[in-house]
Amino acid sequence: MQICKDSVVTLSYTLTDADGTLLEQSDPSISYLHGGYDGIFPIVEEALEGQEVGYECTITMSPDEAFGEYDESLQRMEPRHLFPQHVKVGMQFEGQPEGADEDETVLYTVTEVTEDKVMVDGNHPLVGKTLTINCKVEGVRVASEEELTHGHVHGEHGHHH
């Protein structure tokens, strides 16, 4: 079967930075709903369109094609009392960016903790980086109606969150 809109694609992959440092790899694979459902980088989805099981490719993505450029507006200094007593650098919290819709959330990472303030950053850790993905198509199947309705892949035994 060829990869097309509304198919479930299973990939094994590695993700490296511009220096070739391994940042992430599938263990053993991931699956996404193909066809504009935001399950994978659009440039990767475009390269996989029409391909079959066994296809391998290497794609280098500029920051704009990956996680974008650094956005200073996603960095915030918050009062210390808004956080748990044990807050420390590296912890993550969901929050709403200023001026965002009610349902829009960002994952903020704590970057600094003082006696009365906590600095958080909502930028993805790989923002501003050129990345290379090496991937191999391990499987392709038609998406179920339930997957299409929900806009994402479900596990072997149906819907799980």
Q: Six-digit token pair at 97? A: 């960016």
Are residues 105 and 33 both part of a single domain? no
Q: Which helix (H) or strand (E) holds 23?
A: strand 22-25
Q: Let me know if residue 2 belongs to a domain.
A: no
Domain harbouring 38, CATH code: 3.10.50.40
The whole-number pLDDT of residue 158 equals 46
Q: What ranges in the chain are assigned the alpha helix state H?
A: 42-48, 145-150
Are residues 46 and 81 both part of a single domain? no
CB 67 within 8 A of CB 73: no
Residues facing residue 95 across a β-bridge: 106
pLDDT along the chain (161 residues), means of 10: 96 97 94 93 96 98 96 94 95 86 88 96 95 97 93 67 44
Q: Let me know if residue 110 belongs to a domain.
A: yes
Are residues 132 and 101 both part of a single domain? no
Q: Let me know if residue 57 belongs to a domain.
A: yes
Name the residue range of residue 98's domain.
Answer: 72-121
pLDDT digits over 145-154, tens only?
A: 999 999 999 8
Would you list the DSSP string of 46-61?
HHHTT--TT-EEEEEE
* pTM metric for this prediction: 0.80
CB 51 within 8 A of CB 136: no
The whole-number pLDDT of residue 156 equals 57
pLDDT digits over 40-75, tens only?
A: 999 999 999 999 999 999 999 999 999 999 999 999
31/139 Cα distance (integer angstroms) = 9
